[in-house]
Amino acid sequence: MKKDLVSIADLSKAEIYKLFDKARDLKDELKFEPRLPYLAGKTLALIFEKPSLRTRVTFEVAMHSMSGSATYLSQADIGLGKRESVADVARNLSLWINGISARTFSHKTVLELSTYSNVPVINALSDLEHPCQALADFLTIYDKLGRLEGVNLAWIGDGNNVCNSLMLGAAILGINMKIATPKDYEPKPMIVTQALNIAKKNKAKIIVTNEPVDAVKDSEFIYTDTWTSMGQETEADKRKAVFGKFQVNAKLLANAPRSYSIMHCLPAHRGEEITDEVLDGPHSIILNQAENRLHIQRAILATLLTS
């Protein structure tokens, strides 16, 4: 692996499967040992410009479970890019800690941290990508089916950062992915082009459409996310009006195969992008995804912080 994990496209197919194997091995080891020694004496800095439940807790627990520690730094603590430049923060942290996990508004910030840091930088979410989430999602599918190549995945909703990472990861892993968004809310053209180029090498199909019914047909896994991400709150009312027919509900799922699984990266806006009966229903594997955030991030940390 490279020093950093900025994009899921930083990883090869073989490296992704190695992370899956590592995640499973660590999970099994922790059934017999309360803590593992692999990151003893290591410290991870958590730079979070945005609040978080799953990302913060899973990174902190992952470090603790491998005998390491984590230091949480909010925007109020360091004023990243305002009180102090991103480059200076990266240079200083490199003197004291062993890795940086950054949850930022701008992808440029993660890239700057990567450029100026001498320790590994992990993208814990930016406006362009969310690679840790996508890796947890693919691990969840892999756990359920025992395979990834040829799987059919549908994305319903906004062409956002999670969608971008899933699309790139699907192309790498040979997964067929249909992305259904309202017009003008498609994923960024540069990401679509990148995914299509990768997909050609791995016999994957990436299709972008504006029709959710077409996307869910023949899709074994159906994924949605909030229509309004953090930082877009002023667009909330407009988005609700535009995204109405993209709600994942019983009516839409009547067009899906009988054995479909429902996915969501959380937090969910119940009654907007997904209904309660679907989110809490028998087809939901959403809590499996949430659990796998811990397992995959443990594997990422064990790989990057000990290499």
Q: Report the catalytic residues.
A: 103, 130, 133, 225, 265, 293
Could you tell me which of 74, 71, 85 has the C-alpha nearest to residue 51? Answer: 74
Q: Which two tokens stand for residue 85?
A: 């430049």
Identify whether 37 is preceded by a cis peptide bond (ω within 30 of 0).
Answer: no
Question: How far does Cα 50 stand from its chain's mean position?
Answer: 15
Distance CA 155, CA 285 (A): 15
Radius of gyration of the chain (CA): 19
d(CA 68, CA 299): 13
What are the residues whose beta carbons fall under 8 Å from the beta carbon of 224, sequence distance 6 or more? 155, 156, 157, 246, 248, 262, 263, 264, 273, 274
Contact 62, 301 (CB under 8 A): yes
List the structure tokens of 241: 């009006």
β-bridge mates for residue 48, sequence order: 74, 103
